[in-house]
Structure 1
């Protein structure tokens, strides 16, 4: 870690002790790292005596609502929250690199006079925060928060550990992705010592599918097609598929990982047809990267995991466009 990043970590850690009234937020369609980081920070600030509210730009997935404090999170409404946003002294923005990922909540935050603290592990961040900690080598935002929050957690240590562990577990695909290092496991061991239960976390997050979601997975697997001598695998889910199996886009989160389970595949894409847009999830491994591919469709993310939303074209055309664009990244 270079000296500038180390200084940013220290500034964020120290800044927590001065927070009196605060809101915490994270990106639209929050995943485990987003929810875990928001709740862990909420518990820590409450332990420090601050008045704090978690405001999400969209609801959290059902399989994240078991975490302690999840029922206290609120979903943004201008009438309910704009006055609060403009009255707090601090706004903590987690697991995102641009206020655009907050949807309409981003504009309200941008107009607030509060100090903004941004903690994130994505590349190419916008400069929107007074304190910005961006560690692209971190496995997850929850990974970054271990040294920032634990010194202040106090009586909230168990709740903080549970939330941080869950965020790290989900963002590493169950400790399978490339940034799963020995150092990460040592930090995770600290969280287990602090009260995180790996068995329960895995059970709550990954083993609570209903029968319709399981059948939806079967349908999605039948759609798999490979291209470019088996190096690219594409999964397609239509609006009718979702309707037939009574599933939402949240229910198919994570299905994209199945595209990389086929021998020889270097890049996997899940393409989901929604009302008015096409959602694309990109995954890769080895020396194949997907961040720039996602960026070419107006999205972004990490080198091995990224996403984009395509508007103005139908599903079939979107599939053709993605398959064609992927070729250059498979060379």
Structure 2
């Protein structure tokens, strides 16, 4: 039985990856320090003999007994509210954490997949975004702590690949959604759905003309799984190329939730990308991968999940305007 270490295992994507690798017959070691992860995301795995959990911060030295075949590094705050609240930790997990895990992969002779993001493109000057685009990022802006952490993560990963001959994979993840997202973490889908469920008006930052492309979590996990098992060491975009404006998306959420709320507009946060759409030509050619779950189906499943949350979970969020976090 092959063994895989998944960091950020109690997070949204990390927990779904744990499920997938267990389903594929792997022994999964999950690692998380719960700074943004949720124990509820992995409670269903606790009694599974093919799952072991280690509570640990990957910015400290990482030790795993025995052999290890694969490492998937998904430990990182991923929402604007999180990384604006904990900027230093965000930078450390992208730098020190990645360094520790690359060292572990080298010691274990394991293949490592690094979770990068479309944020490495910043506010892009080309559209759609291809893997050979270097990006347009403000290194000293409030979002820079996340963007630059991921860009450094890619750089050190390629350095280990070139200098040490380490088997590396880099996935650039575009907006992903589905069950187990935190309800009001600042990302578009849970923010809109949380507001709809609480009977609040839907908040759009900016004029709503900015675009996003949303990929359902099962499609995202499939792309990541295929990339890990491929023989390609350079970054690959995994996302859904179906682009939509935020204003149009808010209207879809109102229709889906059958609510009567109106849309209100607030100031756009600094450096917020105006366009986001992946070019997935490489993933199609290299991995024979493209998303299969349409937004209508994926959103229905996600909304049904959010409706199962308790009132305590629904109202416990500290969701605020981004600008209030930026000022801190």
TM range (shorter): 0.3 to 0.5
Q: What TM-score do you get using the length of structure 1 for normalisation?
A: 0.34
Which protein, 1 or 2, shows the higher relative CO under an 8 Å CA cutoff with sep ≥ 6?
A: 2
Q: What TM-score do you get using the length of structure 2 for normalisation?
A: 0.34
Which is helix-richer, 1 or 2? Answer: 1
